[in-house]
Amino acid sequence: MANTFKVKLTNRNPKRPIKGLPAFVDLADDATVEDAKIVIARQAGIKDFNRIGVYDPVSKETLKNRKARVRDEAGVAKTAELVVKDLGPQIAWRTVYLVEYLGPILFHILIPFIRPYIYVFSPFAYKNEMETPLTRVQWLLFGLFHLHFLKREYETAFVHKFSANTMPARNIVRNSAFYWLIAGLLCALDIYAPNNLAARDELSLLDYVGLAMYAVGETCNWMVHQHLASLRKPGGTERAIPNCVGSSLVTSPNYMFEVLAWTGVILISRSWTVVVFICTGIVFMRSWSRDKEKALRAAFGDRYKKKRYTMLPGLI
């Protein structure tokens, strides 16, 4: 029989405690954080173990690495205690991203389809689809938007490996709003409007530059995502030092190439809405890339070549 050790369980939120939470549980010596969640959920009568959040009793920080041994966590080793919280109904991260990226796809189909109903009373001098149809540049942007988000859907379904299983289901509306409302609704309303800056048939030199930037950005972003996925085993949470195109310049080359691609879209569309979308995205990516730099330094020490810039060379 495998050796076990006893761990005290404490409710993180005494005002909303987990009903049925046992005072102690016995865990195998090699039990991981995920194993502990499964045992706690089973004994507390909770069907989905992903609802169980476990925290270090000393630092009060979430034990994020679900594959880490419980006994190796400093606070647990010191106190033989786990702090526990019911996180509420959960949804898989893969599902979250699939839903997020679906919004722009749907809006960039819907808005061109209903142009006769939304622009007829606008100041864009819209007449009908025969006299003011979508132009070549607008159709090009239609294709670029769909190519990007269909790529993201494919990567979510078949390429990316997630370190966490789930997130609180209530957060999906907040997380999706950025893509659905800005990249989807706002960008589509502006780009497909008659007589706006994208409503032209001739491609200029600036358009071809933008198209080249988009092609390079999307291709390199794809290559980086493939490389990052290869660094982690299926179901694993381990970290590895990236060694791919752009990784010698910044911590997160996938973000760098994403910005490059969307800058190309800005040059083609001349749309303020695309500027709003990518600038808002940069705010988020800046934080994520800096967190990744800190994590790589902490995990690999001197083996990791520290980066001054985390996503945009010379800027961020």
Pick the more confident residue, 123 or 107. 107
Residue 231 has pLDDT above 80, yes or no: yes
CA 3 to chain centre: 39
Question: What dotted CATH number matches 4-88?
Answer: 3.10.20.90
pLDDT-derived band at 196 (thresholds 50, 70, 90) equals: confident
**Chain segment 250-260, per-residue pLDDT in tens:** 999 999 999 99
Cα angle value 154/159/164 (rounded, 5°): 110
Query: So where are the chain's domains?
Result: 4-88, 91-303
CA distances from 190 to 108, 193, 198 (A): 11, 5, 9
